[in-house]
Amino acid sequence: MEFLLQPNVYSTGNTPNLLNLLDKMWIKDHNSGEGTLYIISGFANYNGGVRFYPYFTDHIHKGGNVKVIIGGSTSQRLSSIQIAEALLQCGADVYVVNRKRLVHAKCYGYKTPSAEELVVTSGNFTGPGMSQNAEAAIRIDSNTVQTMGFEWEDLFNNMFSQGWDIYKLDSSDISTKSDPGWRLLYDEINSTVALDEDQQVSMVLTLSGSDTARIQADPGTSASKGTQYFWLSKGSFDFFPALTEKNKRGTKNTYSTLINMNYIDIGVINQSRVTFEADNNLDFRLGTGALRNTKIASKDDLALITRKSEFDYELRIIKQTDASYSALARYAVNYIGNYGKRFGYISNSDVSSILGVSI
């Protein structure tokens, strides 16, 4: 049994967030191909599931099942077209329940011939719900699940027999989207809504040696070879748009998207790719090629990445010697990796007052 309140506020089992709790339950403690994985969530978006798509696919190819119930609405942005497509492409059964009030539960788990496990949480199957929102979650072990008489199939069957307005989506319908269930889902990519106020934030990231090696390198040298990245935490999926682009060459699944990056310090506006290396080493990387050879950032300097809108970002390097360094660095509260890297978020309005510029 394990309880947590994310992000990294309180945990009885050294698990910082819901994403890692589901990692443990579904991937570490469950054998791919065995039984059925279950998801119930009122809200769902692409980045909520991006860590799991290769595993779901593998699990289903080996004979397992994935059953998903998500909320939908024609008037509210509950669950997205993109996550429904991704889950269907994994081979999952996807059910959309019309109207928010009917599904406000968030439960995750699995059933195998020998065990059933259950996570009950406030965290939705979304990027923020998985990591940065303050959400509680409890993982209930199979003995306790059995003792209380919980069974996933009973829960699903009872939900299906309530007479609710439920639409089962079909993978053969992805291109046409003729089923009315699709109209209960919103479009993450082509939507024009402004960011919520709580998403008008900047990421504060301490830079590692590999983050700045190519920035410091001279052109044409061996140290300048390869791609210039900032390595991020996969706990920051929610800071970026849906990572819906899959790799075209190569065999290891990656999920990425392009964002518009305004490199304030050098006056360059470029597209930058943010990539999750799902089948390689779980790297989560932000391409920052415009900084190559510029020498404007050194190890332990800060990158301040400001999200202006869905796809528009600004990047500022804050040197250790800059006056604003300490005021900004204190927002990088999440320790990640094993080399002292930290990241965190600060509201854009607070960035404005610290830097004395309008963001």
Nearer to DNA, 67 or 273 (CB): 273
Nearer to DNA, 23 or 301 (CB): 23
Nearer to DNA, 69 or 90 (CB): 90
Nearer to DNA, 6 or 233 (CB): 233
Give the shortest CB-103-to-DNA separation in angstroms: 27
Nearer to DNA, 156 or 343 (CB): 343
CB–CB of 256/272 below 8 Å? no
Give the shortest CB-220-to-DNA separation in angstroms: 6
Give the shortest CB-275-to-DNA separation in angstroms: 7
Nearer to DNA, 22 or 70 (CB): 22
Position 179: which residue type? D
Give the shortest CB-216-to-DNA separation in angstroms: 10
Give the shortest CB-63-to-DNA separation in angstroms: 20
Give the shortest CB-285-to-DNA separation in angstroms: 8
Give the shortest CB-269-to-DNA separation in angstroms: 12
Nearer to DNA, 94 or 286 (CB): 286
SS3 per-residue string spanning the chain? CEEEECCCCEECCCCCCHHHHHHHHHHHCCCCCCCEEEEEECCECHHHHCCCHHHHHHHHHCCCEEEEEEEECCCCCCEEHHHHHHHHHHCCEEEEEECHHHCCCEEEEEECCCCEEEEEECCCECHHHHCCCCCEEEEECHHHHHHHCCCHHHHHHHHHCCCCCEEEECHHHCCCCCCHHHHHCECCCCCCCCCCHHHCEEEEEECCHHHHHHHHCCCCCHHHCCCCEEEECHHHHHHCCCCCEECCCCCCCCEEEEEEEEECCCCEEEEEEEEECCCCCCCEEEECHHHCCCCCCCCCCEEEEEECCCCEEEEEEECCCCCCHHHHHCCCCEEECCCCEEEEEEEHHHHHHHHCCCC
Which residues of this protein are in contact with DNA, per CB under 7 A?
Answer: 19-20, 23, 27-28, 208-211, 213, 220, 222-223, 225-228, 231-235, 247-252, 254, 256, 270, 273, 275, 277, 280-284, 287, 289-290, 292, 336-339, 341
Give the shortest CB-59-to-DNA separation in angstroms: 13
Distances (CA, A) of 117 to 103, 142, 253, 326: 20, 5, 28, 44
Nearer to DNA, 98 or 236 (CB): 236
Nearer to DNA, 101 or 225 (CB): 225
Nearer to DNA, 140 or 217 (CB): 217
Structure tokens at 311: 């796809």
Task: Give dist(CA 38, CA 29) in Å, integer.
Answer: 15
Closest CA to 275 of 264, 266, 288: 288
Give the CA angle between residues 66, 255, 275 to the nearest 5°. 145
Give the shortest CB-183-to-DNA separation in angstroms: 33
Give the shortest CB-327-to-DNA separation in angstroms: 22
